[in-house]
Chain A
């Protein structure tokens, strides 16, 4: 009878080490509330309702004339664009000499359930653009929209082209029917009228469900296994916890805005067909005639490239650039690739037009 085991002793060693790491984790890592996601200093220069306009402190002696306003997404918060000094989108642009503003959409409450696209596009965004124009004594600004923030920025750019000198669309949600993500499949089968009528704002819990169906095993198991394996690597742990804290904090989406969002983008796909209306005005993408830079991530599983790219072909602009990067939705804005490739290319493009 064979009694000798042929299992590699390294397996036992690894299991023991992993167990030790799990036990020691609470002593080695900070609690989420101990981690501050505020990296680059800024001033709050204007507040409307629950939204805020942030102005980052310059990091260079001289700055380019045209200020840049970033319209962040409606899901999670703006911190991902400034999540870590070494991976900060904002800091990189400041170091390239740009004058950077950020739109923080804040946390809508039940009272805000009637806020719609018109309020976001012709209300908040327009007010903040006017504020920046006055403050910087310029007639036009550069506008960047990220993810769902790019849909709002796209609508704004078509309705107020006189205020936008350059438009940067980063992973924009544009063509809902071409979107191949799971999110789009769920959105297409949603009775959004009933949802908004019954619960008002789109609750964060539902957003978390939608995120959980995206690569559930890689994101729900392997990611945490890796975390415990690397528990002694301070740099890794710090970066991991920052992103985790950011992922775990998403505000509700105002009901009416969400309703129009799902219907006009995912269910009826009106935006790309130039049939969407905001505040009684038709969104005609052909009216976007300023320089446009569209950034798409090939591995984006939140907004598929097929959903973003049609913007490049639908706009009226002659000076337009489409760049595709071998990364994901977050990787495009907060990774070493974004620092080495995405931001230098954007900076060069913007500098030539600022």
Chain B
């Protein structure tokens, strides 16, 4: 429906906002894709918190087993705290070091990046509508500057070498 709607929309649009209106279907497409992506993102996001919650619960059980008595003095509190810190740090480090955590976290970040990519695409439509360069166009300029800088440095070095040879002669 949104694809059909864009044409009549464009017909009625005037002036500098025309580009935005005619490109609005891109925004709609991006938003639909974002919605689909959010489902996958949430799946990894839930798994991430599930891993944290499960590790917390297991670590707490271990602490409870190790220090069953309620501490009554400062030394006992310190000792319980030490046990708590050691167990929690060990268990969480084990989790963060595991393949299952690394894999899920990697996928979670990838989905977040894909969402960001869609957001960038939407921003590009808006930028183009107000005659501003898109992210890709700016990147192209950065790439060109980087390559030019490298060429200049190389040429400077060659000139320096030639100067040294000239001076030696």
Contacts and interface: CB of A to CB of B under 8 A. Distances in A.
Interface string B93-108: 1001111011101110
Contacts of B142: 110-111, 113-114
Where chain A touches its partner, the secondary structure class is helix
B158 interface: no
Contacts of A215: 89, 93
B85 A113 contact: no
A189 B113 contact: no
Interface stretch (B3-11, B19-27, B72-80): B72-80
Interface of A: 6-8, 10-11, 14, 49, 110-111, 113-115, 119, 123, 180-182, 185-186, 188-191, 194-195, 198-200, 213-218, 221-222
Given A198-B116, A222-B85, A6 B72 contact: yes
Contact of B88 (A8, A11, A217): A217
B109 interface: yes
A200 B146 CA distance: 14
Interface of B: 72-74, 77, 81, 84-85, 88-89, 92-93, 96-99, 101-103, 105-107, 109-110, 113-114, 116-117, 120, 138-139, 142-143, 145-147, 149-150, 153
24 contacts: A8-B74, A11-B77, A49-B149, A110-B142, A111-B142, A111-B145, A113-B142, A114-B143, A114-B147, A115-B146, A123-B150, A189-B102, A189-B107, A194-B110, A194-B117, A195-B109, A198-B116, A199-B113, A200-B139, A213-B96, A215-B89, A215-B93, A216-B89, A217-B84
B72 A7 contact: yes
Contacts of B97: 180-182, 185
Contacts of B106: 186, 189-191
Contacts of A119: 150
Nearest to A8: B73
**Dominant secondary structure of chain B at its interface with chain A:** helix
Given A185-B99, A189-B107, A191-B106, 4 more contacts: A114-B147, A182-B96, A186-B106, A195-B113
A66 B73 CA distance: 59
B157 to A, nearest CB: 9
A180 to B, nearest CB: 8
Contacts of A191: 106, 109-110, 113
Top 10 closest A-B pairs, CB basis?
A: A189-B106, A8-B73, A114-B146, A189-B102, A182-B96, A185-B102, A217-B88, A198-B113, A213-B96, A191-B110
B77 A217 contact: no
Contacts of B150: 119, 123
Nearest to A210: B96
A216 B88 CA distance: 9
A182 B98 CA distance: 9
A112 to B, nearest CB: 8
A198 B153 contact: no
A155 B144 CA distance: 26
Nearest to B98: A185
Contacts of A222: 81, 85
A213 B106 CA distance: 14
A8 B70 CA distance: 12
Nearest to A118: B150
Contacts of A110: 138, 142
A185 B85 contact: no
